[in-house]
Amino acid sequence: MKKAEIIILSGQSNAVGVGHAEYLPKHFPPEKVEKWKNGYQNIKINYFSHDKKSNGFVPTTIGCTEISKVTVGPELGIADALDERFPSREFFIVKCAYGGMSLYRDFLSPSCGGPYDPEAFADQYENIVASSEQGLPVRPGWSYNELVKITRESIGILEAQGFVPSVKAFCWMQGEADSGTEENAEQYIGLYGHMISDFKKEFAGYMDGCLFLDAGIHELWVFHEKINAAKKAFAEAHSDCVFIDTIAAGLTCAKEPEGCVDIYHYDSDSVIALGHLYADRIPVEGQ
């Protein structure tokens, strides 16, 4: 039976990806942009991204993000780098990311205890992200539960196709929503530890050799230093974890869209760069 190498991508809006596709030709050759528009037939993605679902594996391309915007997410950079290194080799990305969602509430996992709700899912509202943005209450743990749900569904799809699935990497881009208060920033890494521990238990039969790749948040966030320092220390203390320093890598939020810069989200070239940073650390069999 053929192995299926799975890459999890999760977090909040910079995992969704808000890099505007219209600016890609300013940063990349036209043939590269055209390839991205056509999508990678060998690198499929199953996603629940902000308010948009693929409902199964589809080619990784521009627009695996949200309904109302033509944007790109880190998955495109991941696919670009993996295809360059392993032409035509198959990979499967599972993406579960929602703008504005926190680790202290939305991605809360079972072993965190407290208010975690095992029955919390996105269907509590017609559009749970919009409802959350409007200030309506959401049941804690819904984002984590959706992550488990789509991962389980993806594994089932691949097994039904005769694959032997293996989760090779868990790419995490989140922390901005937790950086607003010192209290949330201080409890962040403890909650992260619980989350990845719970995820490993949930998918114990599929996680052999998986690396957890945790990207730092941008310096514009109030308690970014506290959160990033905790992320880095956690990775140094755990052999299956890696901290990706997005500030040192020079990722920017200062250029796009022109005339009305979105300072909270990475520019289109930085979204691709984030994907490359993940791909550089993904453990691929036979490499």
Q: Confirm whether 286 is domain-assigned.
A: no
Give tens-digit pLDDT for 146-190: 999 999 999 999 999 999 999 999 999 999 999 999 999 999 999
Give tens-digit pLDDT for 242-273: 999 999 999 999 999 999 999 999 999 999 99
For the chain, how are helix, strand and coil distributed in percent, rounded to 5?
A: 40, 20, 40
Residue 259 token pair: 């005339």
At residue 1, the pLDDT reads 75
Q: Confirm whether 188 is domain-assigned.
A: yes
Q: Confirm whether 287 is domain-assigned.
A: no
Range(s) of the domain holding residue 263: 2-281
- Domain with residue 107: its CATH number is 3.40.50.1110
Q: Confirm whether 213 is domain-assigned.
A: yes
In the chain, the number of structural domains is: 1
Residue type, 124: Q
Q: How far apart are CA 221 and CA 180, in angstroms?
A: 7
Closest listed residue to residue 216, CA positions, set 167, 177, 174, 258? 174
